[in-house]
Structure 1
């Protein structure tokens, strides 16, 4: 008999989990309160960037995911706008140079052959960089993809395998019987299953409070500017050293002196020619409103690095809520206290990069198969266990 599984959340992670569950032969239903990729996954950039990952379990997971992306267009029979064009992290100050050099040394030890480029070498790869840039990193195999295409294509592929899609239905509570999760309630309708996978990103903790579960995921808002369409301007994925610093700064240490705290360059270009210019990292609860102050700070940061942007028009600004965890790693796997319940959330800004491997691993675990990657560093229990993972 097929295992019946409910996936709650229609973003990248929920779509990937649904797709790989369908490949495993599960009877899977995806439930989404709005539409596919209508939340965080529809308000992010395109980067599949390994250089921004901490060496260790997170980078190892990301590399497996990057390998899956290489064959995903053919597998899904869809154009995902996948491109492996390389990536760089630039540094503007001696402090950033030192921090990036330390990061690169650790990445090389982990097997990631990241190069360090001088200013002149960097400007050969990416024309238009400002004169004050001290240098950059470079890795040939950083890539990009359209997260909307990935989300929709995975859901459609899952439907071709028999998955059920329920859009516009909000899950109001988790159903339990005899200390076990047995389904969900949607707008008064009870839907039963052998397993429930929570893939709701920043909204995951809210729904699980009723089960007395404290899920350490916080919304971390990020704003992105969208420019007018331009001829080819960006040759690769680009991050600023301050962006990496902001990403890896715990909540307790983040500056609260200004709403613009956490601003650092994140730069890419869509197939249609629009520049996606980010970004910020703010703990502002569930407030998704954009801020003029933060918008101005991002714009100034981008123009400082690329002076030519001073004459480029910005068409719009949007924001999304990244699901932050205290140690920067997602929460994956079963919940010991509640058999039948699984979580796949907390990817913060790594949801695009970790999407395929997350879906694959979750499907394997839910269907009782051996996971293709060690999930112990990603279990919820790491936040309460006294044993290092």
Structure 2
């Protein structure tokens, strides 16, 4: 497909992975992003590369593909150029493994059953004795009822990993244009997307990839092909650097349930891991609050409380910052990867929620094979665009709630303006 022009809409880690694969395949690739490369969802993640939190099914197969590809991709990037080697070092690839810990009898039973189903799907899941757990994580709580070790779990530094993928894409001939918000699509009479309109003009191409993460739903609507991808917020605490305290990615057995939940209300579970710099990352939370970007003390407090159940020794450790971000949520909890049957020329690569960092390289490979018409390494059908969860609009009640929220905000603004006018009148008197 040499000479085929592809525009990837979104320069986060999913967009970078897709652009890299397409550029290496010989396509003329341009990345467009309304902000900066990797500046939104990607830079607000934890860097998880997990198989431990996924039950048997299509997402696990995508995770297993990605886990196999990550070290291969990073090695290839490092070999291609000195700049790539530096970026790979900044990606901080760490195949540290993960440990899932239950603290109740019910949790232990559920963890044992879940691990058994994963083993049947070729996931390494090793049950740990109390002594083995204590040797692996000396600071873990004594009040545990079961633990399973997942040696295939790994971690990257999200921004560094995205930069490595993007650097390789650019080295392969891709171009990056930031500060280019897509305003609308240009569709021919035959119903094909041939261009996107930005403040700088029309960008034309043979195919377009919607990789806008939590904004994919809104972008799809602008292009005339909406998809049910919505933001789901997560928050993370970061401690000051500590002596070696946490040696794996450790989370409680509730985490899988929180990931798979479709509830709009707050879902929290303990996820604790160290970084190369010595800080400890503490998560996790999930809230469907639109694009509300305020940090909520009650959410951070709930996250911290869950973490202390796993690592009581963290009590009193200073937290130097907290951050949150939006993850692309789809009701059936599966990514959206493939061609849009409603609009020729449009493709999608989104809906990974909090797993986008880990699933990025597998998604890029899957999309490339689909675009080229080559056999895919895993079944792509479950990720298709024309499945009910992707094409069904949000429930009417949710739309009404949003309208009501906007109405309340307008009323509050009007009330505040009236109070300010009254204050000014009194000052003038």
The TM-score range, normalised by the shorter chain, is over 0.9
Q: 1:222 aligns with which of 234, 238, 242?
A: 234
For 1:158-237, what aligned pairs fall within 5 Å after superposition? 158-177=169-188, 178-237=190-249
Equivalenced residue count is 379
Distance apart, 1:118 and its partner CA: 3.4
Give a deviation string over 1:312-348, Cα, whole Å, max 9, x none: 1000111011111112110000001111100000001
* Residue of structure 2 equivalent to 1:123: 134
Write out aligned runs for 1:64-143 (5 A): 64-77=65-78, 78-79=88-89, 80-143=91-154
Contact 2:237 2:281 in 1 (8 A): yes
Task: Write the deviation string for residues 244-281 of structure 1: whole angstroms up to 9, x where unpaired.
Answer: 21111123xx5x3xxxx311011121111111110101
**Cα distance in structure 2, aligned partners of 1:191 and 1:214:** 20
Alignment of 1:54-69 (within 5 A): 54-69=55-70
From the superposition, tell whether residues 224 and 372 of structure 1 become closer, same or farther in structure 2 (CA, over 3 Å). same
* Structure 1 residues 8-38: Cα deviation after superposition (integer angstroms, max 9, x where no partner): 0011100000111111010000011111111
Report the Cα offset of residue 161 of structure 1: 1.4
Shift of 1:384: 6.7
Structure 1: unaligned runs, 5 residues or longer: none
> Quick check: 2:180–2:200 contact (8 Å CA) kept in 1?
no
1:225·1:295 contact (CA, 8 Å) conserved in 2? yes
Match of 2:316 among 308, 311, 314: 311
Question: Is there any run of 5+ residues in structure 2 with no aligned partner, and where?
Answer: 79-87, 391-429
Q: What SS does structure 2 have at the residue aligned with 1:18?
A: helix
Distance 1:100 1:218 in 2: 29
Q: For residue 51 of structure 1, what is the aligned residue in structure 2?
A: 52
- 3-state SS in 1 of match to 2:359: helix
Match of 1:156 in 2: 167
| C-alpha displacement of 1:188 | 4.4
Are the aligned partners of 1:31 and 1:166 in contact in 2 as well (CA < 8 Å)?
yes
* Secondary structure, aligned partner of 1:381: coil
CA distance in 2, matches of 1:102, 1:134: 14
| Alpha-carbon offset, residue 304 of structure 1 | 2.1
Q: Would you say 1:353 and 2:358 are equivalent positions?
A: yes
CA deviations on 1:187-226 (whole Å, 9 max, x unpaired) are: 1410100000000011011022245434121211100001
Q: Structure 1's 384 and 233: CA in aligned 2 closer, same or farther, altered over 3 A?
A: closer
Dislocated runs of 4+, deviation >6 Å: none
Query: Is 1:118–1:134's contact at 8 Å kept on the other side of the alignment?
Result: no
Deviation at 1:295, TM superposition (A): 0.7
Paired residue secondary structure (2:134): helix
Q: Which secondary structure does the structure 2 equivalent of 1:166 belong to?
A: strand
In 2: Cα distance, 1:45 partner to 1:137 partner: 21
Give the counterpart of 2:252 among 227, 237, 240.
Answer: 240
When residues 341 and 172 of structure 1 are mapped into structure 2, their CA distance, relative to the original with a 3 A threshold, is same
Please report the RMSD computed on the Cα atoms of aligned residues, expressed in angstroms: 1.7
Task: Call closer, same or farther: CA 1:384–1:291 in 2, change over 3 Å.
Answer: closer
Give deviations 1:42-75, integer Å, cap 9, x for gaps.
1111221111112111111111111111222221
Distance 1:48 1:290 in 2: 25
Indicate the structure with greater helix content: 2
Q: Distance in 1 between matches of 2:61 and 2:100?
A: 20
Equivalents in 1 of 2:294, 2:132: separation in Å?
39
Contact 1:45 1:268 (8 Å CA) reproduced: no
Is the CA contact (8 Å cut-off) linking 1:12 and 1:351 kept in structure 2? yes
Deviation at 1:87, TM superposition (A): 0.7
Contact preservation (8 Å) 1:87, 1:236: yes
Distance, in Å, in 2 between the alignment partners of 1:37 and 1:262 is: 26
Q: Is the 8 A contact 2:186 2:197 kept in 1?
A: yes
| Aligned equivalents of 1:334, 1:371: Cα separation in 2 | 14
Name the TM-score, length of structure 1 as normaliser.
0.94
